[in-house]
Amino acid sequence: MPQQPSSFILSMTDGLPDRFDHHTTRYLSAMRGQFIDQKAYQERLTKEDPLLYDVFEIKLSEMPGELQHGVSVIHPGKVGDEYFMTKGHFHLVLDTAEVYYCLRGDGVMVMETPEGDWSVEEMHPGTVVYVPPRWAHRSVNVNLESDLVLFFVYPSNAGHDYGSIEQQGFRKLILDRDGRYEIVDNPNWLPPDLR
């Protein structure tokens, strides 16, 4: 059934929506294999299983033409030198794009095409990031004191392919170096000819 017109409010103080239908939580335990420092990952996990991010979504039909939208909140922290981040994905319908609007905090959007082209866009409150069709995307919180809060919009029929980027890895890692973020080559990245 097509969607009825609707609205909700994003708080001007914390960026959180006053209404949502879906709340997804991703804990450290769900991020096995995502962080480069496996030892630090295991050590942390034996002590605790922190919440890395929340996603609040308004539930819509997946009919082409609808626009899925919501808010993701990536909490501050690191595993080894690597900042807390989302899993990241390609859209299953590869030719679908996404728009992100940063409401709070400081972060980067790490993006990559199936051919291995890459891009890293900085995000601060007010930044709009356009993720073009075909680009995998991952949000990284580079501020260790604050949540990174992002509003996003994408075609409802886009779907999520987590497997491809999980298998090949993102080409670039975002690591903390003396309190600043650095973009570093991922030694485990599989280039297109080796996949």
Residues lying near ligand PAN in the complex (CB under 6 A) are found at 26, 55, 72, 86-89, 98, 137, 139, 152, 154, 158, 160
192 SS3 class: helix
* Nearest residue (CB) to Zn ion, 98 versus 147: 98
Residue 55 touches which member of ligand PAN, Zn ion, none, C-beta under 5-8 Å by kind: ligand PAN
Number of residues that bind Zn ion (CB under 5 A): 1
The distance of closest approach from Cβ of residue 178 to ligand PAN in the complex, given in angstroms and rounded to an integer, is 28
Main-chain phi, psi angles of 78, to 5 degrees: -140, 155
* Nearest residue (CB) to ligand PAN, 152 versus 181: 152
The distance of closest approach from Cβ of residue 24 to ligand PAN in the complex, given in angstroms and rounded to an integer, is 7
The distance of closest approach from Cβ of residue 31 to Zn ion in the complex, given in angstroms and rounded to an integer, is 17
The distance of closest approach from Cβ of residue 2 to ligand PAN in the complex, given in angstroms and rounded to an integer, is 21
Tokens linked to 28:
């450290």
Residue length of the chain: 195
* Nearest residue (CB) to ligand PAN, 39 versus 160: 160
CA-wise closest residue to 140 among 8, 31, 9: 31
124, 104 Cβ separation under 8 angstroms: no
The distance of closest approach from Cβ of residue 14 to ligand PAN in the complex, given in angstroms and rounded to an integer, is 17
Q: How far is CA 74 from CA 16, 17, 29, 47, 98, in A?
A: 12, 15, 15, 21, 18
Q: Which residue is nearest to Zn ion (CB)?
A: 98
The distance of closest approach from Cβ of residue 136 to ligand PAN in the complex, given in angstroms and rounded to an integer, is 9
Interacting residues with Zn ion between 56 and 115 (CB under 5 A) = 98
* Nearest residue (CB) to ligand PAN, 139 versus 168: 139
* Nearest residue (CB) to Zn ion, 111 versus 142: 111
Helix (H) or strand (E) holding 82, with range, is strand 82-83
Buried b (16+ CB within 10 A) or exposed e, 97-125: bbebbbbbbbbbbbbbbeeeebbbbebee
Tokens linked to 32:
């096995």
Residue 147 CB coordination number (10 Å):
22
State the residues that interact with Zn ion by CB under 5 A.
Answer: 98
